[in-house]
Amino acid sequence: MASRKVFGIVLAGGEGKRLMPLTEDRAKPAVPFGGQYRLIDFALSNLLNSGLRQIVVLTQYKSHSLDRHVSQTWRLSGLLNSYVASVPAQQRLGKRWFSGSADAILQSLNLIYDEKPDIIVVVGADHVYRMDFSQMIDAHVESGAEATVAAIRQPISLANQFGVIDVDPKHPDRIRRFLEKPNDPVGLPDSPDEVLASMGNYVFDADALVDSVLRDGEQTSSSHDMGGDIIPSFVDRGAAGVYDLKRNDVPGATDRDRYYWRDVGTLDSYYEAHQDLISVLPVFNLYNREWPIFSQQLNSPPAKVTRDARGALGTVIDSIVSLGSVISGAHIERSVLGPWSVVGSGAHVVDSILFDRARIDEGAHVKRAILDKEVVVEAGAEIGVDRADDLARGFIVTDSGLTVVGKGSRVRARA
């Protein structure tokens, strides 16, 4: 990769409607994850660990907290023209915002013209995974394709949930068709019970990508989407390849998390991805020191678990507790607590996710819930215990019974 100039583009303008109310006040890539991280940290960490040093983050929807996080967390030295830069919609082609992911690149072509890269890596900002893009870039160049799509194997029974890549049996590294959530998919030649699902990550020859988004921008019938319009245009002319994640060897990966990839586009999938973090042998291992996930380094004291004033023990089981948190005579189980969370005497937090500065007062019960930043659960109150009561109080409850409380809310005890 050293002989080729590589430029990274992170598409981070997503609104994330299915994650409401977590996206009511922030862009989807800025949603906290795993205690101290933001969703975008996974994409940026993968690019940085892969050797990319010129990366732009294209933002649009409620981007203030995302722009602030990128500027505070992802400051490179500036040596040798290294940077991670947040670039909001600039309206360079008229008084309009991005109308799709391909249009976001079209309106940001000045960034590509300035750097003149040979290869462009385009990734989404809202998936949880590890991947060495340098290996994908090498495979892309070797294949001779103009565009390469990263793909992960999924059971054929789940094909209708993904964009599915149909490969040519004679040329299994080439895409024959791109199928959006098919109901009658065909299994892989070497594994009939599996399909290749697009990960939303792409490698392009730079000139080919520029030409493609320019032509797409002239099409009034296009939705100007990378997966829905740009990739199919490469497929139609036989210029699109596929990169199976099984070929990717990330340093420090375990057999359990080697090919982990999670789309956290819904509240339930977001919650389930957190559960993947907290087992003794986690499905996704945050503690891989050979391929670290970087984030903001908080100037905070260590987490503390203490007895309360009456001597009752604080207990933490199968959980992640972030810096600055204090647990005093409370019980925490199968949960993730964000920075500066406070849980008081006799409180129970089970199967739940707490964002920054959440406060659970004495004797309160939190069960199977997501509490956004600065939520207060008052003494003796319950959340996630009674579905009907949670709905009556205006909280979101998913079909699976997960209760979600928006930023800054107060959960009061029943009268």
CA distance 376 to 367: 14
Distance CA 315, CA 331 (A): 5
Side-chain half-sphere of 53: how many Cα atoms within 13 Å?
A: 12
223 is in an annotated binding site: no
Q: Cis omega (within 30 of 0) on the bond before 21?
A: yes
CB 293 within 8 A of CB 31: no
Task: Provide CB contacts within 8 A for 207, sequence distance 6+.
Answer: none
3-state secondary structure of 148: strand
What string of DSSP letters covers 311-378?
-PPPEEES-EE-TT-EEES-EEES-EE-TT-EE-TT-EEES-EE-TT-EE-TT-EEESEEE-TT-EE-
- What span, in angstroms and rounded, lies between the C-alpha atoms of 306 and 329? 6
Q: Per the annotation, does 344 bind a ligand?
A: no
Smallest CA-to-CA distance from 166 within 179, 148, 155, 153 is with 179
Q: Are 386 and 401 in contact (CB under 8 A)?
A: no
Residues 110 and 95: their CA atoms lie apart, in Å, by 17
Residues whose CB is less than 8 angstroms from the CB of residue 392 and which lie 6 or more positions away in sequence, other chains included: none
Residue 246 among known ligand-binding residues: no
The answer to whether 163 is annotated as binding is yes
Annotated binding-site residue numbers for alpha-D-glucose 1-phosphate: 163, 180-181, 198
**Known binding-site positions:** 163, 180-181, 198
